[in-house]
Amino acid sequence: MMSEEPEVSCPYRDDTYSCARSLQEREIRALVPAEEYERWLQRGLSVAESRCEGSYHCATPDCLGWCVYEDTVNVFHCPVCRKHNCLICKSIHEGMNCKQYQDDLAARAINDSAARRTTLLLKTLVQSGEAMHCPQCGIIVQKRDGCDWLRCTVCHTEICWVTRGPRWGPRVRNPSFLCSIHSFSLICHLKSSTV
């Protein structure tokens, strides 16, 4: 197939007419060999993934799995390779929670260049404001979308993204433990800069 685009224009042309329509999926399947048809389907999926806001590609090398995630989802169960991807750490760390993984990563970074690169990426995200340390347990948390509220996946502290502090504190009924946004009865900033 000559087209590299997922939408294939009808190839019919003669001296008086040129078809301006796109071929349907069933027509492409009937016109090209099975291998070429599969490549066309994969190309369409790749384009959809790259154009879709909120897409995440599986961290397993050479895996074709990907998803479109919502802010409330922290794990992507890849249907292709069957691995569990942590959407917070942007990695696969089965058998460890985020804190254990980040601690292990820091220890491995001493001798492992890939771990050093990942550690550097996490530090860069914190420095740029795209991620932060949980004010309670210290792991790196990242906000993807939605309002200013998020919850640490390890210690479950509720965090205000704007103030970078605990949203409620250990004693919910004591207003002195509320974040400054909540204590002034302000609503979440829906248009805050998020990851």
In a 13 Å sphere around the CA of 14, the CA atoms on its Cβ side amount to 2
CA 141 to chain centre: 13
Beta strands in the chain (DSSP E): 55-57, 66-68, 75-77, 84-86, 131-133, 140-142, 149-151, 158-160, 165-166
Output phi, psi for 160, to 5 deg.
-95, 120
Question: Would you name the residues annotated as active-site residues?
Answer: 147
Could you give the CA distance from residue 78 to residue 63 in angstroms, rounded to a whole number?
9
The neighbour count for residue 59, using CB atoms within 10 Å, is 18
Rounded distance, CA 64 to CA 58, Å?
Answer: 7
